[in-house]
Amino acid sequence: MRAVTNGDLDDLARGAAILGTGGGGDPYIGRLLAASAVREHGPVPLVALDELPDEAVVLPVAMLGAPTVMVEKLPSAEQIGLAARSLAGYLGKELTHIACAEAGGVNSLVPAVAAAQLGLPLVDADGMGRAFPELQMVLPTLYGIRATPMAYADEKGNRGILDTVDNHWAERLVRSAAIDMGCSAAISTFAMSGAQARESMVPGTLSLCAELGKLVRETRSVRAVAERLRGRTLFTGKVIDVARRTVTGFARGEARLSGLDTDSGSELVLRFQNEHLVAARDGSTLASVPDLICVLHTETSEAVTTETLRFGQRVTVIAAPADPRWHTEAGIELAGPRYFGYDIDPVGVSA
């Protein structure tokens, strides 16, 4: 993939929503935003991570907030560009590349919107190889790269800059601002050099999203998706209950699935904070963060995001291994089950 064109957006969004592990936003909204930007500004050149010059100025952009809100209050193209331009102005640096902070139906597409607006190329990579709910949960944090100075902006024109003593403080302050802004804000954060990006980001994520999306479109096979991600199927069932609340700026809750086919008679519980964190079958944990837990429609293999989960859906849950750096001690501390309040060791897919 050498550019993001209008023809790529469907597959890109579809695949990104799978890697979003329930979060990262609705692919329909991501597609709408990117299609409009590409129509106006033309295709967005894509640059491989290993082609980045050391001295490149790379700026990841994303939407931050509760995806439950984002389906009603759509991000505006202006606020995405505003967040990027505000930070560029504050840094006093000429940006050379836009990047993707996390995979997800919205968050893999929003960087294309910013890149199109600013006339900059996009890096074929992301900051985690999946989606996670909190700002500091990106691999660059493990490499000591600072989230701030960062910028955030709403659709009304309000914007801010943060410069904090660590990445956890950045999360805390921007989360409150996003809540005030209506539980959704555009952010630009983790500005870094090309050398830093090559070291800390996950290469090829956008290409992988497009490939996964194409696979889904052509095969409609959950098994094919699981195999491409070197994962496995955890459970096939029907959604029988969703308890979901938008609190502390996140979509938090749990879903219960009643088993069908070979899983008949069993129950799977999914616990989520924007993203799926833990999957437990009849009380025993089958998979947990940092590994990927993805819920797909059994018939179509399209991803079901946590904000669109609802009673009666027939879904298949798969799990897939995260980037190995998430399985280091520091990675587990940053985004393992204990950080989210589950007193368990991480349950890996190959465990």
Rounded Cα gap, residues 127 and 313, in angstroms: 31
The dihedral through the CA atoms of 308, 313, 314, 316 has a sign that is positive
- Residues in contact with a second copy by CB under 8 A are 86, 90, 156-165, 169, 172-173, 176-177, 179-181
> For residues 66 and 181, which CB has a smaller minimum distance to a second copy in the complex?
181
- 151: β partners: 161, 188
Give 44 or 150: the residue with its C-beta nearer to a second copy. Answer: 150
Q: How many whole angstroms separate alpha carbon 42 and alpha carbon 329?
A: 43
Virtual torsion, Cα 289, 31, 300, 104, nearest 10 deg: 0
Residue 149, preceding peptide bond in cis (omega within 30° of 0): yes
Q: How far is the CB of 84 from a second copy (least distance, A)?
A: 15
Considering the complex, state which of residue 177 and residue 293 has its C-beta at the smaller distance from a second copy. Answer: 177
Residue 350 DSSP symbol = T
Minimum distance, C-beta of residue 115 to a second copy, in the bound complex (Å): 23
Cβ-based neighbours of 334, under 8 Å, separated by 6 or more? 136, 137, 141, 142
Nearer to a second copy, 48 or 161 (CB): 161
The least distance separating a second copy from the CB of residue 253, rounded to whole angstroms, comes to 24
Q: Which is nearer to a second copy, 152 or 342 (CB)?
A: 152
State the minimum distance, in angstroms, from the CB of residue 164 to a second copy.
5
CB of 292 to a second copy, least distance (A): 31
* Distance from C-alpha of 71 to C-alpha of 84, rounded to nearest angstrom: 22
